[in-house]
Structure 1
Amino acid sequence: MHKTLTSLAATAALALIAGAAPTQTQAQTRNCGDHAQVVERLASGYGESRQSIGMGADNTVVEVFASLETGTWTITVTAPGGPTCLVASGQAYQNLYEDLPNTDQGA
């Protein structure tokens, strides 16, 4: 149950931030940096690798990094030509491959 709630929280956070391109002011107040440096830090410091990637509003790139061994996860947002910012992190990450629910109303 706890793992499912954590996954739901991560999904909700991703949905909320997908449209939030980091501005210069936000970049100064968040943990932001060069994309290659952020990826290296997540890999070397936390054992996290990219698990998913998608495009958000205003062509932002939203990425989820996670360690399948430790369960830590981090969500980043990268603005076009801008910094990569850490926007959420947590524990108990798990990959889910769920089928769509059956929405047929019957015959």
Structure 2
Amino acid sequence: MPPRARSQSPKAKNPKWVVYILRCADGTLYTGITTDLNRRLAQHNAGTASKYTRSRRPVTVAYRQAVKTHGDALRRELAIKKLTRTLKDTLVANYERRRARRSSA
């Protein structure tokens, strides 16, 4: 029997990928990718997304970056995971500064 095709909305046919960094309750950072950040964040906070974040809840989004393709998302995720903690903290701080400027403008 062939595998069932998942029904796809028009939006799902060309999903926008998001690379994200979560700040865990213990202060550590977790990097991942998804096409639906709100859903994925809920999964992390429910303890169903990753073994790593399951014991470090609650988690909050510290950084997000939209990319066009799954391949782009995978490459960016890997690049972030290779960064030192100091560089990840700088990336997050710069992101938070940009968001603060946009919200105050």
Does TM, normalized by the shorter one, top 0.5? Answer: no
After TM superposition, the score normalised by the length of structure 1 is 0.24
Select the structure that is richer in strand.
1
Select the structure that is richer in helix.
2
After TM superposition, the score normalised by the length of structure 2 is 0.24
